[in-house]
Every structure is written in C-alpha cells, then in structure tokens.
Amino acid sequence: MLEQLVNIAQKAGEIILTIYHQPSFQVIHKKDHSALTEADTASHLFICDALTKLDSSIPIISEESTHLYDYHERKKWKYFFLVDPLDGTKEFIQRNDEFTVNIALVRKDKPILGVIYAPALDLTYYAEEHKGAYKIANNKITRLPPRSTKSNKITVVTSRSHTCSKTQAFLDTLASQGNQIAMTTIGSALKFGLIAEGSADVYPRLAPTMEWDTAAGQIIVNEVEKRVTKFGCDDQLMYNKAELVNPGFIVR
C-alpha cells in the first residue's frame, strides 16, 4: 500500500501546484480562524476519493472532513487513514514553497505507514513500520540511515509560523545545559523530514497541533530510530484519542 500512498500524495501535490501557480486564489477562514484555500479543498477531495478506491473498508480522517466521526465509533477501528491535504496553508498563501501533503495509515493508536510530499520542492519522505524511511529528491530514492546526536552542537528546527514562549523556555534550557544551539525554521511537516535526514537534531513543538499534522512524520522519524515524545515525559504520541489535539511534543 505504501507505493500507492506515495502516488496519491504526489498526484494531490500536482493539483495543489496548479492552484499555487495561479496569479491569485481564493482564501477563506474557518470557524477556528485558520485559513482555507481552494487548494486545501481540491487536495482533500482527490485524496479521499483515491483512498476510498484503494480500500473502501478503511475510514478516513482528514483535516478538511466535515464529519470527523464520534469517538465511540472511532475507538473500535483497527485501521484508519489520517490526512492533512495541505499542511502549511500559511506557507502556501505566502508562496514560500514550504507546504506538504501528509498521509498516514494508523493501526489502532500508532502510525504504521506515512508519506510527506512537498510539491513545490518535489521532495518526498516516506516510511513503513520496520521497513525503513526513504527520501525521494531529484528523482533519486535514498534510504535514510538511523542517526544519533552525540555532540553538544545541536541543530534545532522550529516552526516558521507557530512559536510560543514555552518553546523559547525549552531552548533556553538546552543552552543552559552547555549545548551549542544552531537554529533553523521551516514550515509544515518538513520539520520531520529534516530530523529524519539528519539536517536537524531536535524539533520542539509546544504550540497546539492535530493528529493529522504529525502521524506521517512520526512513523518516518521512528524508522530512523528517532522518537516523538510528549513534552515532559518519555511517552510517544498516540492517535485516535477522544480529542484529536496533540499535547506538546519533542522530536529527537
């Protein structure tokens, strides 16, 4: 199924790019005041249709779903898809190329397949549980080796559009422990890609996220022996919770 998910993500990216390269596009705001473009909607419709054709027995939760299912129904699921059809809508609107399509297959409460595709960069990260993580760039597929940070020189990647005082406090703590901190910022789930490929060592995210923001990235970093843990403890992020909001987390 992983090959099909990569193909679906890339085709959704093509749809997004047709809108991205238009002189202008429609932007509206949802009830939570977050932005929504016609590209978000077009990608959502395409992905949901494609996933249904791939396996209609697997439910789909997408950021742009109008129906997110009641928890009493969801908690019985063995498998489901988690989709962010356009992660980084702010980056899309600002035209800085740092937006992605995220698709994950979750088994009960853990992602087991994941794809992150950045259409404007033509960059793909993908992984399957126990089968490794891979990157496609310049039409070349590379397996990403496990990486560990054994130096006090730490590259920290943070969100370009979502920061908070808790994140700064975490960075101050890292520095107070004698670490030399180099900072980089990037939008969307690309931060997981930087961790997986070794371009960054730590990604703190203490501002709110949703399950569809992180599921694909989590299996990708897991497959290079990195972890996505709740801030303040060693427990990994879990999925299909009663509330789909993630707690603060650290990737490293």
SS3 148: coil
List pLDDT tens digits, range 166-199.
888 998 999 999 999 999 999 999 999 999 999 9
Q: Are the beta carbons of 238 and 74 closer than 8 angstroms?
A: no
Q: In terms of DSSP H, where are the helices of the chain?
A: 2-20, 38-54, 71-74, 89-94, 165-176, 190-197, 211-222
Residues of the chain predicted below pLDDT 50: none
In the prediction, which pLDDT does 185 show? 95
Q: Which domain holds residue 187?
A: 153-251
Residue 214: partners with Cβ closer than 8 Å, 6 or more residues away: 189, 192, 228, 237, 246, 249
In the prediction, which pLDDT does 17 show? 98
**Are 24 and 80 within one domain?**
yes
In the prediction, which pLDDT does 61 show? 97
List pLDDT tens digits, range 73-109.
999 999 999 999 999 999 999 999 999 999 999 999 9
Distance CA(252)–CA(243), nearest Å, equals 25
Owner of token pair 């650290």 = 250
CATH number of the domain bearing residue 95: 3.30.540.10
Distance CA(45)–CA(62), nearest Å, equals 10
End-of-domain residue from the set 121, 144, 167: 144
CATH number of the domain bearing residue 242: 3.40.190.80
In the prediction, which pLDDT does 188 show? 96
Q: Give 12-58 as a DSSP string.
A: HHHHHHHHHTSS---EEE-TTS-EEEHHHHHHHHHHHHHHHHH-TTS
In the prediction, which pLDDT does 149 show? 66
Distance CA(169)–CA(83), nearest Å, equals 31
End-of-domain residue from the set 86, 120, 144: 144
In the prediction, which pLDDT does 146 show? 92
First-residue to last-residue Cα distance in the chain: 27
Q: What pTM was estimated for this model as a whole?
A: 0.96
**Are 122 and 223 within one domain?**
no
